Structures are given as structure tokens and as C-alpha cells.
Amino acid sequence: MNKNQIIGRVKQLHEEVSQIKEAEVTFSDEPAFSSFQQNIFNGYPRKESSMHSVNSKSHHVMSLISLFSIALILATGCSTPDPEVPQMAAVTVFEGARLIVGDGSEAIEDAAFIVEGDRFTAVGPTGQLDVPAGATHVDLTGKTVMPAIIDTHKHLATTREDMVDQLQRMAYYGVGVAMSLGHDVGDLAFQVREETIPNAARSRTAGRGITMPEPGRSEESYWITSEEEALQAIQELAERKVDLVKIWVDDRNGQHEKLSPALYGAIIDEAHKHNLRVTAHIFTLEDAKGLLRAGIDAFAHGIRDQDIDEEVIELFKERPNVFLVPNLPDQGVAMDLSWLGQTVAAEELQQLQEANTDRPALQETFGIQARNLARLHAAGVRIAFGTDGGIAWRVPIELEDMVAAGMSPAEVITAATRNSAELLQLSDVGTVEADKSADFLVLDGNPLEDITNTRRIAEVYLRGEKVDRAALRASWTGQ
């Protein structure tokens, strides 16, 4: 009997053992035992550890199973692994780094964590974990580890090639999950959501967002003018199992009519009936108040037209589960962008640097939104993370902007990891904890001391696999 035949018999007999167990066959039935015994001698079944023997014959069967399990190991152990046979997951212990768990707790100095396959299996101080024999050891002394970032507000491309490129660029800059928010027409975003793409962030999608007609702007969203159309849009999104519902409540500086309270109220109510959360693009303070009263779940932008008042703070406090994704604008100050040379071609980088000057009007806009973020954060509003658009390198800049607005680096990291996972209802990412996906960054500096150290990425691991940043970088810049 060759290896493949052995494997086939193992699978067949394993199923038969399970069926006998489920049927509670006691082997006092002689024909049943004889039939099973005949199968034993025709193949090499694996021992079923949960099977209960009830008499001497069943003990004999289990002994035979053990012997033939050994035979299977000997038959397959010295040959090329068969893709149909589950292989033992690789076990690696990472030791010596400062670990930012992502849940707001104090960093663990000189930490260790074990990754088995695509999961964290243990986390704690170095020397206090039960490390499996034969595990690979990786020394991260002098490094800082934090969870991969979750970007809850992106707009992904409409072709597969471009979308994969975006997701790989995001992975390069430390993003583990990206939420495509409201411009996804057709099946592509939903297909990619179900895939595991090498060297790429995972994606989630809101499908098509909902707004009033906006002639001259994107027609990828649902344009609605009635409650009936609003309900139909939500029902279609529910059928597609979107991860979030996106609405726009913005007149675009008076150019268009915006969703009325009656319309966005109907959208929110219907979405909640389908267990869907709703996030809103907003601009004004008054619209934020109306949406809070209507039961909105999240804001995809901060309040941008004026400094907030006490009324909106109280409305947020009355709704402690609402998330705010500040999505801050450009600070409007000149900054050194040379660090982008890793992923941006020289000519493009030169153009970006030349355009990056002090711009007083943008400084004023940033000031309004930064003050509003600081006040809402101080009031206990749940802050998450998003960068809008499709540019991956906006991630470290947004982290820096949030610190410039008054949040501490530790608070910003929590917002960009655990809080963002909670907004998207992703239970397996966002923190470095046992049983969660092994998505993490290895940094050359401590971002708790200086948030710009989130640019200094040594390695990115997604689903337990190291992202090949060197290969990605070479493909983009030739370096």
C-alpha cells in the first residue's frame, strides 16, 4: 500500500470511527465489530482520542489504531509532505522587545510572545512563557512591537490589480485591515474580502454608500430622494453582507441638497434592523447633533465647520458606544517627506516635497478639527482611526496629526488598533493577545516616546507571515 492509499484509508476509517462513536456502538454487537475489524486490517486508521471503549474488543480496536497510526507516521515521515495531510504549524517565540499590547495597558518591557501558524498563542514577560520544544527563537532586543494598524476609512481601487497594489502598500506601512468606505460597485471588493493575499492587508467593504444626488460627483453610491429608496438600498446592502453602511450628510459647500433627518433616520433604523452599523461623512456641527439623535453608530470625519459646543458633548456622552474617526486634514505646515523615498519614486517625491509648504488656511482648518478632537476625547468619546483616500503613507502622518491634536501616543495607538477593531466588529485583531491573528509591527524606535517612530518599521507580520517589504519596495522604486 503506497502513501496515498494509506492516507485515503486513514480518512475513510477516521470517518467510520466517528460515525460509530456518534451511534454509540458498544462493540457488543459482533457483526458491527467484525466489520470494523476488517476495515482495520485493510488500512491504517488514526487513533480517535475521544472514542470511549466499552469492552475488551473496543480496547483491541484502539490498540490496533495506535499501531497503525505509528505505521502511518513511518510511511509519511520520510517522504515529501502531502498537501492533503494537515501539517504541524510552525512555532516561533519572539523575545526581548518592548510590547505595546494595544489595549491601553502599560507596555511590557522585555516581552515574549509565541506565534503558532497564524495566531498568537501566548504573551507575557520573557522567561515566563511555556515555550514548546523545537520552537524558533527570534531576538527582538531593542525593538518595539505593536499591533498592526486598522484603517477604518479608505477608498479602494476599482480594478483587481490596483486594489491588490493598494493593500500591499498598506501592509508595507503597517496596516493589517483596511475598510473600503462607500465606493465599491460590483463584486470585486466582496471577492477580495474573502481572499488572503500575500504581503497584503485584509480588506472589508461598505459596498455602495448612500447620499442625495450629487451631479458632477461620483455616481458609485446610491442616490436617493425618498424613504422607499433608502430602505431598498439598505436591504440590498444587507443581502451583500456589507461590513458597515456609509452615508454622506454634506451639501458640499451649498452645491447639493444633503440627506434630511427623515432620510438618514430611516436609513439608520433600517440598518439596525439588519444588525448593520452606520457611519456618516459629515461637515457641520448641527448635522452631527441630528445624527446623534437619530442613532448613528460612528462618524467618518470630525466636525469641521466650527468649534463644538457643550450640547454636542452631552449628546456624545449620552451615547457612549458611538465612535469618532477624526480623519484630520493636512496640518498646513512644511515637513520633511524624505522618509517616503522607500515607496515613492524620486520624481514624484520631489513634487510632493515642493508642494509641502506652510499654508495658513489649512492651519486654521486643522486647528478647528484638532481642538474638537481634543475636547471630545477628553469627554470620553471613543476614538478610532482612518485616513480617507487611497494613499498608504498617510497612515503614519495621521498618527502624528492625532498626537498634534492633543492625544498621547499611547492613546493614538489604542485608537488605531483595538478601538478600530471594535468599530469594525473584528474580534481577532487589534491587540497582541493569545488566540488573535498574529498581525504586528516591529519598530526600530519607541512610538510611546515619539509617534514618528511608527515610520521606522523594521518588519511587518500579517497572519503570522513576514511581509516581504524588500520585494515590494523593489517593485515600486527599483531600490
**CATH level 3 topology of 91-142:** Urease, subunit C; domain 1 (2.30.40)
Q: What is the pLDDT of residue 342?
A: 87
DSSP 21-51: HHTT--S-SHHHHHHHHHHHHHS-PPP-TTP
The CA distance from 312 to 292, in Å, is 8
Cβ(207)–Cβ(476) under 8 Å? no
Q: How far is CA 60 from CA 22, 251, 279, in A?
A: 19, 78, 62
Q: Give the pLDDT band (50/70/90) at residue 478.
A: confident
List, in order, residues 6 or more apart from 38 with CB less than 8 Å away. none
Question: What is the overall mean pLDDT for the chain?
Answer: 86
Q: Give the pLDDT band (50/70/90) at residue 89.
A: confident
Using the structure block, give the residue that is written with the C-alpha cell 485591515: 177
Q: Give the pLDDT band (50/70/90) at residue 216.
A: confident
Q: Give the pLDDT band (50/70/90) at residue 67.
A: very low
Side-chain-side CA neighbours of residue 45 (13 Å): 22
Cβ(143)–Cβ(443) under 8 Å? yes
Q: How far is CA 329 from CA 308, 365, 368, 437, in A?
A: 17, 7, 10, 31
CA-nearest of 308, 326, 306 to 415 is 326
Q: How far is CA 66 from CA 38, 49, 83, in A?
A: 16, 10, 23
The CA distance from 407 to 350, in Å, is 31
For the chain, where do the domains classified as CATH 3.20.20.140 start and end? 147-477
Per residue in 427-451, pLDDT (tens digit) is 999 999 999 999 999 999 999 999 9
Q: What is the pLDDT of residue 369?
A: 98
Per residue in 320-377, pLDDT (tens digit) is 999 999 999 999 999 999 999 989 988 999 999 999 999 999 999 999 999 999 999 9
The CA distance from 308 to 287, in Å, is 12
* Sheet arrangement for strand 298-299: 222-223, 210-211, 245-249, 278-282, 298-299, 323-324, 382-383
For the chain, where do the domains classified as CATH 2.30.40.10 start and end? 91-142
Residue count of the chain, please give it: 479
Query: With a threshold of 0.75, does the pTM exceed it?
Result: yes
Residue-wise burial string across 436-458, b where 16 or more C-beta atoms lie within 10 A, e elsewhere = bbbbbbbbebbbbeebbbbbbbe
Average pLDDT, stretch 12-41? 42
List the single range of 28-32, 166-170, 372-376 with lowest mean pLDDT.
28-32
Strand 457-462 vs strand 465-466: parallel, antiparallel, or unpaired? Answer: antiparallel
Q: How far is CA 228 from CA 218, 249, 266, 274, in A?
A: 22, 18, 9, 16
Classify burial at 180, counting beta carbons within 10 Å of its beta carbon; exposed 0-12, middle 13-18, buried 19 or more. Answer: buried
CA-nearest of 375, 384, 368, 367 to 311 is 375
Task: Count CB neighbours of 208 within 10 A.
Answer: 24
Cell readout for 143 is 525593538
Cell readout for 287 is 448635522
What is the percent of the chain where pLDDT is above 70?
82
18, 24, 30, 34 alpha-carbon torsion, rounded to 10°: 0
Per residue in 94-123, pLDDT (tens digit) is 999 999 999 999 999 999 999 999 999 999
Cell readout for 306 is 466650527
Class in CATH terms, 147-477: alpha beta
The CA distance from 149 to 115, in Å, is 18
The CA distance from 305 to 309, in Å, is 12
